[in-house]
């Protein structure tokens, strides 16, 4: 048999082996680059659905060898039209397992490790292991979670510049019917998901009384069955959108409701769409968006061309429109922003710390409430929580932060002077002075 290696990388070689003039400053053309991509670059693909299948294929064919994929779903019959790595006999099997296996069968040399679990089930270290995280997801929650994990690795230096080696880039794809987006998120450099969460329109929610009294559309009938009828009949049992029996029940109730009001159009797939807030997926939109994401990943890794800056939208609803928008970071973003650096003595009590926030020129937060990694250290209100947290006031902050020399903490309160006070929520980077292994930071405002 003839070796397929040379022909397989032929097109890629044109990008990687030759110098160019629109390349990144770090670009070093040559065979070494191609080999380095194979050996060193580790990519996580989040999601093995419509986009995920495309992404795995595209990345594998772009010369990446070390891929992992995470997805909690099993294959359903309705996936087969576009999630092209799956066959009829795969229905019921984990998407991640089957997708990994199929791409490895087709693309020799690539190694794909599947993870059949929820993204929240993995420890944070798992995510830190990858050089780039590529997202092929259909939910805001999941994107927001991965974004907060990736931005959580980001560290800033004393001048509020991101430390290069702590940046965990993400490439995010998303599609809805004929529309899609591809974006590059370099935490600390380009806006993170949370900086621009307003880009995602909130889900349309029908008033419950409309569902109960005056349904007019098939979606109203489905939401009635899902939100009202389900609870009436299954008191206490939670509806699980991933349970086909539950979905079938909602579908048949929606049909009854629709017949009662003479409303056409309730189908099983519409039921799934409305309940899970899914718009019918189109194979080619997934292919286009995934191709853009894979290419951006390759560009970011190799420097062989300038990367997308930073948000591509694709719209094929009427004709075809694409647009690239350069969104800007929210400098006060709680997730990716540097926060305000505070250098403190280990002896400062929580009470003194709260007083300090009021006097700090960059903060001026009066009556702050403090939260640290899910522990509410002090709450000004309501009285029930104030009472529960009051005893922390005389404990040192160092102790309350588990004696970690440097970490992020959040404060809320009224900020500003005089008449212009407004409610604010701020990220603070606390560094304790005089501890081993902590570099001294030039910073006023210590206790």
Partner 1 sequence: MINLFKVKEKRKELAENANGRPPVKKQSAGELRLHKDISELNLPKTCGISFPNGKDDLMNFEVTIRPDEGYYMGGTFLFSFQISPIYPHEAPKVKCKTKVYHPNIDLEGNVCLNILREDWKPVLSINTIIYGLFHLFTEPNHEDPLNHDAAAVLRDNPKLFESNVRRAMAGGYVGQTFFPRCV
> Annotated active-site positions, please?
209
438 binds, among Zn ion, partner 1, none (CB under 5 to 8 A by kind): none
Of the candidates 81, 108, 161, 231, which one interacts with partner 1 according to CB under 8 A? 231
Query: Exposed, middle or buried, 210 (CB in 10 Å: 0-12/13-18/19+)?
Result: middle
Is the link from the previous residue into 310 a cis peptide, with omega within 30 of 0?
A: yes
Q: Does 277 bind partner 1 (CB under 8 A)?
A: no
145 binds, among partner 1, Zn ion, none (CB under 5 to 8 A by kind): partner 1
Of the candidates 192, 219, 294, 430, which one interacts with Zn ion according to CB under 5 A? 192
As given in the structure block, the two tokens for residue 405 are 């020399």
Q: Does 422 bind partner 1 (CB under 8 A)?
A: no
Closest approach of partner 1 to the CB of residue 91, in Å? 31
Instruction: Please name which of 215, 30, 238, 44 lies closest in space to residue 125, comparing C-alpha atoms.
Output: 44
Q: Does 85 bind Zn ion (CB under 5 A)?
A: no
Cα(195)–Cα(126) distance, integer angstroms: 24
User: What's the helix, strand, coil split of the chain in %, to 5?
Assistant: 40, 20, 40
As given in the structure block, the two tokens for residue 53 are 């299948």
366 binds, among partner 1, Zn ion, none (CB under 5 to 8 A by kind): none
Closest approach of Zn ion to the CB of residue 104, in Å? 36
Residue with tokens 């040399």, as numbered in its chain: 109
Which residues touch 342 (CB under 8 Å, ≥6 apart)?
A: 356, 360, 428, 429, 430, 431, 443, 445, 446
Instruction: Please name which of 293, 322, 308, 311 lies closest in space to residue 58, comparing C-alpha atoms.
Output: 293
Site string for partner 1, 180-219 (x = CB under 8 A): --------------x--xx-x-xxxxxxxx--xx------
Q: Does 155 bind Zn ion (CB under 5 A)?
A: no
Cα(191)–Cα(195) distance, integer angstroms: 6
Closest approach of partner 1 to the CB of residue 441, in Å? 19
Query: Are 424 and 413 in contact, with CB atoms under 8 Å apart?
Result: yes
Rounded to 5 degrees, what are φ and ψ at 141?
-55, -50
What angle, rounded to 10 degrees, do the helices at 283-302 and 31-40 form? 110
Of the candidates 186, 300, 335, 341, which one interacts with Zn ion according to CB under 5 A? 335
Binding residues among 162-181 for partner 1 as defined by CB under 8 A? 164-165
Binding residues among 345-364 for partner 1 as defined by CB under 8 A? none
Q: How many CB atoms lie within 10 A of CB 414?
A: 15
Please choose, out of 124-132, 258-266, 268-276, 347-355, the segment that lies near partner 1 by the rule CB under 8 A: 124-132
Of the candidates 189, 425, 441, 443, which one interacts with partner 1 according to CB under 8 A? 425
Query: Are 314 and 179 in contact, with CB atoms under 8 Å apart?
Result: yes
Q: Does 393 bind partner 1 (CB under 8 A)?
A: no
Chain residues that interact with partner 1, rule: CB under 8 A: 24, 26, 28, 33, 36-37, 40-41, 123-125, 129, 131, 140-141, 144-145, 148-149, 152, 164-165, 194, 197-198, 200, 202-209, 212-213, 227-228, 231-232, 235, 300-303, 334-335, 369, 371, 373-376, 379-382, 384-385, 388-389, 402, 404, 410, 412-413, 423, 425
Chain residues that interact with Zn ion, rule: CB under 5 A: 192, 194-195, 333, 335-336
């Amino acid at each position: 048999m003839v070796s397929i290696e040379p022909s397989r990388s032929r097109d890629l070689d044109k990008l990687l082996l030759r110098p160019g003039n629109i390349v990144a400053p770090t670009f070093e053309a040559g065979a070494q680059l191609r080999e380095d991509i194979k050996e060193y670059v580790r990519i996580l693909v989040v999601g093995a659905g419509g986009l995920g299948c495309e992404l795995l294929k595209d990345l594998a064919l772009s010369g990446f060898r070390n891929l992992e994929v995470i997805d909690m779903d099993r294959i359903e019959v309705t996936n087969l039209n576009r999630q092209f790595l799956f066959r009829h006999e795969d229905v019921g099997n984990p998407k991640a397992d089957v997708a990994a296996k199929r791409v490895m069968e087709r693309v020799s040399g690539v190694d794909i490790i599947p993870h059949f679990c929820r993204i929240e089930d993995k420890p944070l270290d798992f995510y830190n292991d990858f050089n780039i995280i590529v997202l092929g997801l259909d939910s805001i929650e999941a994107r927001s979670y991965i974004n907060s994990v990736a931005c959580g690795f980001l560290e800033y230096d004393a001048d509020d510049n991101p430390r290069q080696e702590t940046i965990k880039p993400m490439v995010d794809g998303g599609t809805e019917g004929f529309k899609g987006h591809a974006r590059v998120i370099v935490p600390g450099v380009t806006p993170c998901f949370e900086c621009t969460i307003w880009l995602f329109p909130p889900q349309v929610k029908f008033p419950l009384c409309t569902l109960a009294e005056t349904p007019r559309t098939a979606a109203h009938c489905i939401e009635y069955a899902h939100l009202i009828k389900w609870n009436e009949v299954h008191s206490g049992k939670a509806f699980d959108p991933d349970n086909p029996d539950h979905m079938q029940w909602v579908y048949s109730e929606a049909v009854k409701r629709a017949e009662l009001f003479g409303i056409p159009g309730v189908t099983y797939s519409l039921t799934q769409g409305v309940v899970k807030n899914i718009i019918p997926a189109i194979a080619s939109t997934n292919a286009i968006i995934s191709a853009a994401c894979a290419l951006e990943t390759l560009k970011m890794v190799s420097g062989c061309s300038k990367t997308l800056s930073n948000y591509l939208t694709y719209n094929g609803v009427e004709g075809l429109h694409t647009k690239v928008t350069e969104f800007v970071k929210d400098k006060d973003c709680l997730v990716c922003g540097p926060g305000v650096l505070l250098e403190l003595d280990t002896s400062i009590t929580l009470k003194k710390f709260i007083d300090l926030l009021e006097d700090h020129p960059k903060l001026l937060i009066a009556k702050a409430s403090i939260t640290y990694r899910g522990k509410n250290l002090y709450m000004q209100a309501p009285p029930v929580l104030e009472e529960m947290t009051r005893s922390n006031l005389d404990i040192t902050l160092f102790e309350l932060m588990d004696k970690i020399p440097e970490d992020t903490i959040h404060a809320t309160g009224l900020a500003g002077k005089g008449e212009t006070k407004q409610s604010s929520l701020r990220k603070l980077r606390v560094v304790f002075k005089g501890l081993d292994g902590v570099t001294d930071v030039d910073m006023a405002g210590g206790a």
